[in-house]
Amino acid sequence: MEWKPENENEVQNWEEVVLIYNSALKEIGTKLEILNDEFQHVHQYNPIEHIKTRIKTPQSIVKKLKKNGYESTISNMVEHVNDIAGVRVICSFTSDIYRIAEMIINQSDIKVVSVKDYIFKPKPSGYKSYHLIVTVPIFLSDRHIDAKVEIQIRTVAMDFWASLEHKIHYKFEGDIPEHIKNELVECANMISDLDARMLHLNEQVQELVSD
């Protein structure tokens, strides 16, 4: 599914959209890096393993708009697609996820649009992750714009599962055979057990070290 801008004006508008969302990714990326550095300074520990950012391709934006019954216009993209700018934050432990989410939510220039806790309530596929849609102000030469960013926060293990499941989903064009689906759910449960054990192990180590 391809999006073809109809005129020069639309091309310019799309370029402006990309400029704004790229700026939003920089803003959120910097905020996360500062929080991670501060955490290292105060607690001698980094809650964030790594951060990935991406701008959704025009093709997947158009696909999402079509799925939700909207025409492919720039204003529909900005209004109805919440994840044009996406940040994925990968942490070691489940407890870090909530800590990071809280630190982001509490920043005075951030507005929370929605929260989806797929850790508390995983998707039927087995998918687990914490999703936040926020707006961050972008200051341009003559105005400011509140740009939407989707922040997905998950553990390394949850990320391992999600990236394999995403590839499998793509290979079968969304029609995954039942036995593979069941195995994916089983693996997701194993990953939850592993995350819980790793967290418990880390807590035990912290207690021993602080004695």
Q: Mind telling me the catalytic residues?
A: 150
Shortest distance, CB of residue 208 to ligand 0O2, whole angstroms?
Answer: 36
Nearest to 153 by CA among 28, 27, 59, 20: 28
Closest residue to ligand 0O2 in the complex (CB): 127
Q: Are β-strands 130-139 and 144-155 bridged in parallel, bridged antiparallel, or unpaired?
A: antiparallel
* Closer to ligand 0O2 by Cβ: residue 111 or 116: 116
Residue bearing tokens 């055979």: 177
Stretch near ligand 0O2 under the rule CB under 6 A, chosen from 17-25, 43-51, 101-109, 158-166: 158-166
Shortest distance, CB of residue 171 to ligand 0O2, whole angstroms?
Answer: 13
**What are the residues facing 117 on neighbouring strands?**
130
* Closer to ligand 0O2 by Cβ: residue 39 or 78: 78
Stretch near ligand 0O2 under the rule CB under 6 A, chosen from 3-11, 41-49, 121-129, 185-193: 121-129
Q: What is the DSSP letter of 66?
A: H
| Residue 76 is a binding residue for ligand 0O2 (CB under 6 A) | no
* Closer to ligand 0O2 by Cβ: residue 2 or 6: 2
| Residue 171 is a binding residue for ligand 0O2 (CB under 6 A) | no
Residue bearing tokens 């036995």: 179
- Exposed, middle or buried, 161 (CB in 10 Å: 0-12/13-18/19+)? buried
Positions in 127-156 near ligand 0O2 (CB under 6 A): 127, 131
Interatomic CA distance for residues 155 and 98, integer angstroms: 11
Stretch near ligand 0O2 under the rule CB under 6 A, chosen from 6-14, 16-24, 27-35, 119-127: 119-127
CA distances (Å), 134 to each of 7, 15, 104, 109, 110, in order?
Answer: 31, 22, 9, 10, 6
| Tokens at 181, concatenated | 């689906």
The SS3 call for residue 151 is strand
Chosen residue from 17, 28, 36, 56 binding ligand 0O2 by CB under 6 A:
56
| Residue 82 is a binding residue for ligand 0O2 (CB under 6 A) | yes
Any idea how long the chain is?
Answer: 211
**Footprint on this chain of ligand 0O2 (rule: CB under 6 A):** 56, 60, 64, 82-83, 116, 123, 125, 127, 131, 162, 165-166
